[in-house]
Structure 1
Amino acid sequence: MTMRQLSLVISLLVFASSFGTIEGAGSTQDEVVVSVDGTNLRFSPSTVNIVEGDTVRFFWSGELLAHNAVSDDGLFDSGEPSRNVDYSFTFELGTNGSHTYVCEPHEEVGMVGTINVEPAPPDPSPEPETGQEGENSTKSGETWIPFFGLELVVAVMLFAVIYHFGRTQGLAETRLILPGDDEEVER
């Protein structure tokens, strides 16, 4: 493989990888999975620590015994006991505190869990406006810079590499055969 072919392959790989999405910092929601342990009579983990906005997913499949997850305060209920459960509950703002939940058929044998929900961190407050107009500042204190996106930059680079590769390999040459000529004329 020549150096040109290698650079073309690398450019194509970079281009292909640029089509993924970039998640912003605003998506801080996490998911914690609670299942049934090997004894079939305990939640695993039995204690979960999360922050408001996080989701707890109760998931078990093919268990020997039927289970459910019901909070003592009525905040969530996975439904009737079942051997296959896939239930999620998101703890919205205002649900902070300690929430005990049970498996109704097995509460007597200690199938109990606790979810500790911490308050969500406060959003950063915007900076107050200074009201001074002459110091190269905007109202928000930020400068506006146009951004075209990584995808566009990579696409232009890929086009340039392909164009250069085609020109250097003679792929951009056209030949015209005129009637009555036995030779090709290069244009």
Structure 2
Amino acid sequence: MYDGGGGEHDLGYGDEVGSFDGWFDDVDDYTGVVDKTGESRPVVGVGTEGNGGQFAYDPPAIEVSTGTTVVWKWTGEGGYHDVAHVGDAFESEVTQERGFTFEHTFENEGEYKYVCTPHETLGMKGIVVVTS
């Protein structure tokens, strides 16, 4: 888990629930930001256990370095899901196909919040924190 560190990459995210201006307030499986900065193609599960069913991303919050390609992989559980950035930087198709993947390469630093549009109200949300 990324703990906010204190080093040159310390953005103050920490691992406390309630970070990101309440973004994860209704997400029951969020426990902090998982450090994936050493991985070139980290995988996030889509349709994993959480939020009263198979309505979660696993992990819901990751930190990656600029230039990293994040891969979202569908479990085939929980119905139709997608990955839709709230600022329209990326969006997958809506599907329930087990093993389907969607990927996006993050070239710029920042916080990239995303949702599953069919299940956003159930708390199916995630974030990619990109640092250099």
| TM-score between the two structures when normalised by the length of structure 1 | 0.45
Answer yes or no: is 1:34 the counterpart of 2:47.
no
Segments of 4+ moved more than 3 angstroms: none
| Partner Cα distance (2:70, 2:89) in 1 | 12
Higher relative contact order structure (alpha carbons within 8 Å, sequence separation ≥ 6): 2
**Partner-residue secondary structure (3-state), 1:108:** helix
CA RMSD of aligned residues (A): 1.5
Mapping 1:6-85, distance limit 5 Å: 30-35=40-45, 36-38=47-49, 39-79=53-93, 81-84=94-97, 85=100
Number of residue equivalences: 89
| Partner Cα distance (2:124, 2:39) in 1 | 27
Higher Cα radius of gyration = 1
| Partner Cα distance (1:96, 1:71) in 2 | 15
Q: CA deviation at 1:110?
A: 0.6
Rate the CA distance shift 1:50–1:64 in 2: closer, same or farther, 3 A: same
| TM-score between the two structures when normalised by the length of structure 2 | 0.63
Mapping 1:100-115, distance limit 5 Å: 100-115=113-128
- Unpaired segments ≥5 residues, structure 2: 1-37
| Partner Cα distance (1:116, 1:72) in 2 | 14
- Unpaired segments ≥5 residues, structure 1: 1-27, 120-187
From the two aligned structures, give the one with the greater helix fraction: 1
